[in-house]
């Protein structure tokens, strides 16, 4: 099968400051890839380039057969098959959970009203919130809101899911709720790329880990191998607290 994601020589700058300095990455279908690294290493910028949220100067990105470009039509086609969940939940406060979930399928995919209830129940069940369809965002905890954001992405039936530091705004208990949901998606075979600072989760759930440093992929490989036997001093220093 062709790769779910292929990035070749990706370069991106903000003004005169280079942020991505030639990224090459391939993600196979069913892979769960954790992207780790210090702040400013380019992790989130790479993720945003994959979903077309950031323009890049050179290189190429192909996701499930879609070449990422600035074309509005190409981006619309891409985002039908690539879901993205952010650090901030971005739920519409005036819409209840069911309405937040069905908005994109209704507008983008012309989902018939007769199918909405079934879709809402299906995706909320997958994130453990089947009873919250009628609730509004301000009635939910941060962890529940993030799980609704995941359910909203799942409602588009994506082939690839991107997660950008989705637990960084949550306390440890709520973080556990969200990570459990992502782990269940991994078990179900969803292709995922996760920018995360949760080293234990990356080591346990991701089958591959990518370490970014200074705008480059510094090391990559099977997660357990990367954490137990880092080859470079930069990665060794970064994961040292997690090597026990």
User: Which pLDDT value is given to residue 109?
Assistant: 83
Chain mean pLDDT for the chain: 92
Task: Check: CB of residue 60 under 8 Å from CB of residue 8.
Answer: yes
Residue 177 has a pLDDT of 87
Q: What confidence tens digit (pLDDT) does each residue in 79-92 have?
A: 889 999 988 888 99
Name the pairing type of β-strands 191-195 and 58-63: unpaired
Please determine, looking at this structure, whether the domain spanning 92-157 carries the CATH number 1.20.1580.10.
Answer: yes
Does the pTM surpass 0.85? The reply is: yes
pLDDT at 242: 63
Q: Mean pLDDT, to the nearest integer, of 184-205?
A: 92
Q: Tell me the C-alpha distance between 131 and 124, whole Å.
A: 8
Give 178-186's long-range contacts (Cβ < 8 A, gap of 24+).
178/143, 178/146, 178/147, 178/150, 179/205, 180/128, 181/126, 181/127, 181/128, 181/147, 181/150, 182/150, 184/126, 185/126, 185/150, 185/154, 185/161, 186/32
pLDDT exceeds cutoff 90 at 191: yes
pLDDT digits (tens, 9 = 90+) for 21-65: 999 999 999 999 999 999 999 999 999 999 999 999 999 999 998
Q: What is the pLDDT of residue 243?
A: 58
How far is CA 126 from each of CA 19, 122, 196, 203, 234, rounded to the nearest angstrom? Answer: 36, 6, 21, 23, 38
CA–CA separation, 138 vs 73, rounded Å? 34
The fold of 5-81+159-242 is Rossmann fold (3.40.50)
With cut-offs at 50, 70 and 90, classify the pLDDT of residue 97.
very high
> Is the model's pLDDT at 73 over the cut of 90?
no
Which residues have C-beta within 8 Å of that of residue 47, sequence separation ≥ 6?
Answer: 35, 84, 162, 164, 193, 195
User: Which residue in 30, 32, 158 sits closest to 83, CA to CA?
Assistant: 158
| Residue 244: band (very low, low, confident or very high) from pLDDT cuts 50, 70, 90 | low
- Burial (CB count within 10 angstroms: exposed 0-12, middle 13-18, buried 19+), residue 30: middle
Whether residue 1 has pLDDT greater than 80: no
DSSP 8-state code for residue 36? E
Q: What is the pLDDT of residue 168?
A: 83
138 pLDDT above the threshold of 60: yes
Whether the pLDDT of residue 153 is over 70: the answer is yes
Alpha helices (runs of H) in 43-90, residue ranges in sequence order: 43-50, 72-79
Domains of the chain: which residue ranges? 5-81+159-242, 92-157
pLDDT score recorded for residue 64: 92
pLDDT score of 11: 96
What tens digit of pLDDT does each residue of 198-243 get? 898 898 899 999 999 999 999 999 999 999 999 999 999 998 876 5
159: left (phi over 0), alpha (psi -120 to 50) or beta: alpha
5-81+159-242 and 92-157 agree in CATH topology: no
Q: Per the structure block, which two tokens stand in for 40?
A: 């400013």
Instruction: Give the strand pairing for 32-36 and 208-213.
Output: parallel
């Amino acid at each position: 099968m062709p790769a779910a994601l292929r990035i070749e020589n990706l370069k991106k700058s903000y003004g005169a400051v280079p942020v991505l300095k030639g990224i090459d990455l391939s993600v196979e279908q069913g892979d769960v890839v954790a992207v780790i690294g210090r702040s400013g290493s380019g992790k989130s910028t790479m993720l945003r380039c994959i979903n077309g949220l950031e323009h890049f100067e050179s290189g190429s990105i192909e996701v499930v057969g879609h070449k990422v470009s600035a074309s509005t039509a190409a981006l619309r086609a891409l985002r039908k098959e690539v879901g993205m969940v952010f650090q901030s939940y971005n739920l519409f406060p005036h819409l209840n959970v069911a309405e937040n979930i069905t908005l994109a399928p209704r507008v983008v995919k012309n989902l018939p009203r007769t199918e909405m209830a079934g879709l809402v129940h299906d995706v909320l069940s997958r994130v453990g919130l089947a009873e919250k369809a009628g609730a509004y965002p301000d009635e939910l905890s941060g962890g529940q809101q993030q799980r609704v954001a995941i359910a909203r992405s799942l409602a588009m039936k994506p082939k690839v899911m991107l997660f950008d530091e989705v637990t960084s705004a949550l306390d440890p208990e709520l973080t556990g709720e969200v990570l459990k949901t992502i782990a269940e998606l991994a078990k179900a075979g969803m292709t995922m790329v996760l920018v995360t600072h949760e080293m234990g989760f990356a080591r346990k759930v991701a089958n591959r880990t990518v370490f970014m440093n200074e705008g480059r992929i510094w090391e990559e490989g099977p997660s357990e191998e990367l954490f137990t036997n880092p080859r470079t001093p930069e990665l060794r220093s970064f994961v040292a607290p997690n090597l026990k």
